[in-house]
Amino acid sequence: MTKTALTLRGVSRSFGGGADPVVAMSDVDLTLAAGEFLTVVGASGCGKSTMHGIAAGLEEPTTGAVELNGTVALMFQDATLLPWLTARGNIELALRLRGVRDRGAEVDRLLAVVRLQDWGDKRPHELSGGMRQRVALARCLAQGADIVLMDEPLGALDAMTRDHLHDEIERVVGSEGLSVIFVTHNVREAVRLGDRVVLMANNPGRIVYELDVDLPRPRRMDSAEVATRAADLMDHLRGTATEPTASRQHLPERVSP
């Protein structure tokens, strides 16, 4: 039996009281297998980031339950590095907060994992956007995380840097044995990276479609196979993003291409 890293059962999140609360997410069931790279795609306001916050324990669901089998770290669109610390210092801080005593060797290892061993003494303003995100990834690893929740971590980067970091993230996730939920607006990116893609629709946020991606790795964003599966996701996204409501009885079966 496949080990489960994270499970959401009937999770909903509402904001505001009274008779007319705002329902950000409704009755979401989701399972992340250990070692799985799960991508989540959907229009703005569909509850992707809310789901991340609940999975990370940053906010409580209104209803439902979350089960974790491991520790969680977060990556955001911005690297959120401390500007007065070097790349090495930002990674070392995470180790210090964990109570790790012999931190030097582990910082060296993590810098090597993200291929920044020659940049450890640089401060964030001296690094490119892609480098800063690699430091942020190393900081996640320094937290001893088994599960990494990535909330559009490449959204602010140019296309060439983004494509390079797809390869880097895929390499690090595989070598470190991580379980990942990666939120994105880009359907090709979702197919490029994911073992499985989950599509969310809004009003309220809910899962409406799942796609198993059976393509061999490494993949290319511009390949015909990725484009075909991305087009399938876009067809479903166009058909669901503007719906006012949807019953879970209408949730399509999980499909394989």
Q: Which residue's entry shows tokens 């399972």?
A: 31
Q: Which residue's entry shows tokens 């296309």?
A: 159
Mean residue pLDDT of the chain comes to 86
Q: Residue 234 above 70 pLDDT?
A: yes
Report residue 34: phi and psi, to 5°.
-60, 130
pLDDT in tens, 125-146: 999 999 999 999 999 999 998 9
C-alpha–C-alpha distance, residues 28 and 55, integer Å: 12
CA diameter of the chain: 58
What pLDDT, on the 0 to 100 scale, is given for residue 89?
Answer: 96
What six digits make up the tokens of 233?
């996701």
Q: Residue 244 above 80 pLDDT?
A: no
**Burial class of 150 by CB neighbour count within 10 A (0 to 12, 13 to 18, 19+):** buried
Query: What is residue 152's DSSP assignment?
Result: S
C-alpha–C-alpha distance, residues 179 and 149, integer Å: 9
